Amino acid sequence: MSEVIVITSGKGGVGKTTTTANLGVGLAMQGKKVALVDTDTGLRNLDLLLGLERRIVYTLVDVVQKRVGYGQALVRHKKYENLLLLPTSQVADKTAIEPEQMLELTQVMRNEFDYILVDCPAGIEQGFQTAIIGADRAIVVTMPEVAAVRDADKIIGRLQAENKDSHLVVNRIRPQMVKDGTMLDMTSINDILSIPCIGQVPDDEKVVDSANRGIPVVEWDDSVAGQAYRNIVRRICGEDVPFQTFETDGWFTRLRKKLFSHH
């Protein structure tokens, strides 16, 4: 059994690449054979988040243009042998890969991997079409914010038109703001998007640190976001995992923040 999952969002900056890196490492930690395909040609980042930038020799563009086989372009993860990255070119642009070429590639790669995660670029143009074409299903990443939810809605409509099931991951939730009523809560988001939610990831400073170090937070035991990603991985594997309830600040922390904030 192999599954191709595209990670998409419509809007940029909501955490598609971070989600791809974390789910990829998380699935590899579960012993699955995983390939991560970066389709954000020209603006590749997935290699950075995995700490694999220096090891890239060939790219997705070389593969679809038949200069090399995909096996030659795959970069093996330093810690997890069963995790491989197919990076894309930083110099070419999205027109370098036709959707049909991507479809062909994912169909061939299916034979070798349990999971193929495709990191989709922002937008709804050719890059999006290329990323989704070979996917069995989609994970739509959004943030509790009107613009991100609006764009996610558009993307879900496009995915439904292509007969692809989608699941939702809500990223960068700030529990205290939700509690105060200044951030969209899960009820409102589900009300608008009405697709099954498989992840609620709290905002976590450690994600920034982890990107700099090239070690996704899913590996970090002390990260709340890492815990959320581990739960998503288990849900992808078919386990029924209840959603975490996030801790909000206690009265003392809130008082301290109020006293020392400059806003």
Residues 6 or more apart whose CB falls under 8 angstroms from that of 253 comprise none
Cα–Cα nearest to 221, from 11, 12, 48, 29: 29
Q: Which of 40, 119, 151, 204 binds another protein (CB under 8 A)?
A: 151
Residues 248, 145: Cα–Cα separation, whole Å: 19
CB of 151 to another protein, least distance (A): 8
165 binds another protein (CB under 8 A): no
Nearest CB to another protein, comparing residues 11 and 230:
11
Angle (CA) 126-127-130 rounded to 5° is 85
253 binds another protein (CB under 8 A): no
Nearest CB to another protein, comparing residues 1 and 161:
161
User: Which amino acid is it at 219?
Assistant: E
**Stretch of residues binding another protein (CB under 8 A), selected from 1-9, 19-27, 44-52, 150-158:** 150-158
Q: Which helix (H) or strand (E) holds 209?
A: helix 206-213
**Stretch of residues binding another protein (CB under 8 A), selected from 31-39, 101-109, 135-143, 186-194:** 186-194
**Stretch of residues binding another protein (CB under 8 A), selected from 43-51, 76-84, 157-165, 171-179:** 157-165
67 binds another protein (CB under 8 A): no
Tokens encoding 219:
């590996």
95 binds another protein (CB under 8 A): no
156 binds another protein (CB under 8 A): yes
Residues 35, 84: Cα–Cα separation, whole Å: 5
Helical packing angle, 186-193 and 146-161, nearest 10°: 30
